[in-house]
């Protein structure tokens, strides 16, 4: 059932090109003209009344929501807030009929997310579920559903569910942007084209696993690791850090690179591994200055950048490169090396990769 792989997690990591492709099937037009969601079938009358979007989720799905906020705000110009489901319900959220609540859940059974969905509904919001499980409680309770076609995810640590959630967030942002008219036809075309190139590019990232294995073996016994990045790289840093914590039990923290000097820099001392994501061109120079700050404290820096970047290796100790894509889609590729790093670190440490201690695949308690 593991198809020759040692663990479900690594099998599912390698299934990502296929999962990403299937999630786009019949949604991204082959001629790149746009996105269709037959299950939504929205027109201007459905999208224009949305004054605010509330994204609600837990864990990895919450991290997909953070990327979703960035994409929807940029491409469809609708304000988005993102909440952890267990917090949402207890903060008197400002939700009404003009709010679209999007709940993201791989299993569709996470109790906190389900309860938050019910709360949003009670407050009058329209609801949309993004889930991987057909007929799950969250799918049944939402007004509308978009399925991620990742296939069953068995490993406790979520991988292919996350990348397919990101694909849905991107498609939804383009879809609403096209309907609202915040995106030009050219932009829509470029984004569709870039989306369709992702499966092959994800495959390319997976081919380049050897250096990552080496880093995992080299740094797998450090007790603290930091992930830094700006904008979308920060969102991916959060996910990379969660992956490492949950399966390898290494203490990891993700920091917005510009926020380091407001406290965390005190923890950066000689030999501490820092994984610095530098894929976002509009904040690239700023990220480089933050890399210099940690290098000045003798951290060991692994830089994650775009292929063709000639500068990065001058400032870091090691590099990982991923193929360049549209900046809004980069998280779908940049998370893959971080998943692999977590996986091989856990293997190096002899951890039970598929069933990490204290964790369950589907959290049906509050």
Nearer to ligand F6R, 144 or 326 (CB): 144
Establish if 329 lies at the interface with ligand F6R (CB under 6 A): no
Establish if 16 lies at the interface with ligand F6R (CB under 6 A): no
- The correct pick among 105, 163, 279, 339 for binding ligand F6R (CB under 6 A) is 105
Closest to 162 in 3D by CA, of 10, 54, 59:
59
Establish if 346 lies at the interface with ligand F6R (CB under 6 A): no
Nearer to ligand F6R, 192 or 363 (CB): 363
Nearer to ligand F6R, 171 or 238 (CB): 238
Tell me how far apart the alpha carbons of residues 123 and 108 are, in angstroms, rounded to a whole number: 21
- The correct pick among 157, 183, 342, 347 for binding ligand F6R (CB under 6 A) is 157
Contact letters (x/-) for ligand F6R, 38-67, by CB under 6 A?
Answer: --------------------xxxx------
Q: What are phi and psi of 279, to 5 degrees?
A: -100, -10
Q: Min. distance of Cβ 324 from ligand F6R in angstroms?
A: 27
Nearer to ligand F6R, 210 or 366 (CB): 366
Establish if 240 lies at the interface with ligand F6R (CB under 6 A): no
Nearer to ligand F6R, 114 or 178 (CB): 114
Q: Distance of CA 251 to CAs 5, 11, 245, Å?
A: 27, 25, 6
Nearer to ligand F6R, 157 or 195 (CB): 157
- The correct pick among 158, 201, 231, 241 for binding ligand F6R (CB under 6 A) is 158
Establish if 12 lies at the interface with ligand F6R (CB under 6 A): no
Residue 257 DSSP label: G
Establish if 235 lies at the interface with ligand F6R (CB under 6 A): no
Q: Tell whether the torsion through CA atoms of 141, 144, 148 and 151 is positive or negative.
A: positive
Closest to 162 in 3D by CA, of 231, 233, 252, 61:
61
Under a CB-based contact definition with an 8 Å cutoff, are residues 221 and 251 in contact? no
Strands 224-229 and 273-277: parallel
Contact letters (x/-) for ligand F6R, 284-323, by CB under 6 A?
Answer: ----------------------------------------
Distance of CA 57 to the CA centre of its chain: 12
Helices (H), 158-283: 160-180, 185-207, 210-219, 232-248
Residue 107 DSSP label: S
Q: What DSSP letter does each residue of 145-168 carry, written as one string?
A: EEE-------SSS-SHHHHHHHHH
Q: What DSSP letter does each residue of 3-42 carry, written as one string?
A: TT-SSHHHHHHHTHHHHHHHHHTTTB-TTSS-B--TTT--
Nearer to ligand F6R, 234 or 321 (CB): 234
Q: Min. distance of Cβ 14 from ligand F6R in angstroms?
A: 17
Q: Min. distance of Cβ 130 from ligand F6R in angstroms?
A: 9
User: Could you say which of 180, 295, 355, 361 is catalytic?
Assistant: 361
State the first-to-last Cα distance of the chain, in angstroms, to the nearest integer: 32
Establish if 163 lies at the interface with ligand F6R (CB under 6 A): no
Q: Which residues contact 357 (CB under 8 A, 6 or more apart)?
A: 249
Q: Given the rule CB under 6 A, which of 32-40, 106-114, 215-223, 306-314 is the region that contacts ligand F6R?
A: 106-114
Question: For residue 130, what are the β-bridge partners?
Answer: 104, 146
Tell me how far apart the alpha carbons of residues 80 and 65 are, in angstroms, rounded to a whole number: 10
Annotated catalytic, 122?
Answer: no
Q: Given the rule CB under 6 A, which of 104-112, 198-206, 216-224, 293-301 is the region that contacts ligand F6R?
A: 104-112
Q: Min. distance of Cβ 282 from ligand F6R in angstroms?
A: 29
Report, as residue numbers or ranges, the catalytic residues: 361
Interface positions with ligand F6R (CB under 6 A): 58-61, 105-107, 110, 113, 157-158, 242, 246, 362-363
């Amino acid at each position: 059932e593991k198809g020759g792989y040692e663990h479900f997690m690594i099998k599912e990591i390698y299934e990502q090109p296929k999962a990403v492709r299937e999630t786009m099937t019949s949604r991204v037009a082959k001629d790149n003209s746009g996105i269709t969601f037959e299950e939504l079938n929205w027109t201007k009358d459905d999208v224009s009344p949305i004054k605010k979007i509330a994204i609600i989720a837990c864990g990895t799905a919450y991290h997909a929501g953070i990327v979703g906020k960035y994409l929807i705000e940029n491409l469809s110009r609708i304000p988005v807030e993102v909440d952890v489901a267990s917090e949402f319900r207890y903060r008197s959220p400002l939700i009404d009929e003009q709010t679209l609540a999007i709940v993201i859940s791989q299993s569709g059974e996470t109790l906190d997310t389900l309860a938050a969905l019910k709360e949003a509904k009670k407050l009058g919001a329209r609801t949309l579920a993004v889930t991987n499980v057909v007929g799950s409680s969250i799918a049944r309770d939402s007004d509308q559903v978009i399925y991620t076609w990742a296939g069953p995810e068995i490993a406790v640590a979520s991988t292919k569910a996350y990348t397919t959630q990101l694909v849905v967030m991107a498609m939804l942002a383009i879809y609403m942007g096209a309907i609202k008219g915040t995106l030009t036809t050219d932009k829509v075309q470029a984004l569709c084209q870039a989306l369709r190139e992702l499966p092959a590019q994800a495959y390319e990232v997976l081919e380049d696993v050897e250096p990552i294995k080496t880093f995992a073996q080299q740094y797998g016994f450090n007790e603290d690791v930091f992930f830094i990045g700006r904008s979308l790289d920060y969102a991916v840093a959060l996910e990379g850090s969660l992956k490492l914590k949950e399966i390898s039990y290494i203490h990891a923290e993700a920091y917005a690179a510009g926020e380091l000097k407001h406290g965390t820099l005190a923890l950066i001392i000689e030999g501490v591994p820092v994984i610095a994501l530098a894929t976002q061109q509009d904040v690239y120079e700023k990220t480089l200055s933050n890399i210099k700050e940690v290098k000045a404290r003798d951290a060991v820096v692994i830089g994650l950048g775009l292929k063709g970047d000639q500068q990065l290796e001058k400032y870091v100790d090691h590099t990982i490169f991923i193929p360049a894509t549209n900046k809004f889609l980069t998280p779908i590729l940049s998370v893959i090396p971080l998943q692999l790093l977590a996986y091989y670190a856990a293997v190096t440490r002899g951890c039970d990769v598929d069933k990490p201690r204290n964790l369950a695949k589907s959290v049906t308690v509050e």
